[in-house]
Amino acid sequence: MPVYREDFTVESHRSKEVLLITQEVASILRKSGMQEGICLVYTPHTTAAIAINEAADPDVLDDMILGFNRLSPSLIQYSHKEGNSPAHLLSSLIGPSEAIPIKDGKLDLGLWQGIYFCEFDGPRVRKVAVQVLG
């Protein structure tokens, strides 16, 4: 099975931020030359995540941040002393990766879907790994 891998970085500017990375992933897929298979998008950070959601309406991103804040409020007295336990919790809930089917050399996303890097402990520069399996 042919495999192609490439990494890139994303830079967040707020403590919680959702960044669209679909174009970066699609570009790596094109470079791979794979026509069919799976594209794995992964981030090796314990306070970040990868998600697929609507990419057409920018209000969805604001709503995602609002929901993240309600799911894991910073007001709770956590045991972890670094102060970023809400970020660890959100990373675990959302997950560090997504697997997207490849069809005819393209990401087989739904009409409105996009791939997002979710930052929960920013601002930071983070790594995203894309591995294409054909």
100-116 pLDDT, tens digit per residue, is: 999 999 999 999 999 99
| Dist. CA 4–CA 81, nearest whole Å | 39
Are 100 and 1 in contact, with CB atoms under 8 Å apart? Answer: no
Domain spans in the chain, listed from the N-terminal domain onward: 16-133
Encoded tokens for 42? 């992964």
| pLDDT (0 to 100) of residue 33 | 97
For residue 27, report the phi and psi dihedrals to the nearest 5 degrees: -65, -40
Residue listed under structure tokens 């099975």: 1
pTM for the complete prediction? Answer: 0.94
114 - beta bridge partners? 53
Task: State which amino acid sits at residue 119.
Answer: E
Which token pair is 128?
């995203």
CATH (one of 3.90.226.10, 2.60.120.460, 2.40.128.640, 3.40.50.300) for 16-133? 2.60.120.460
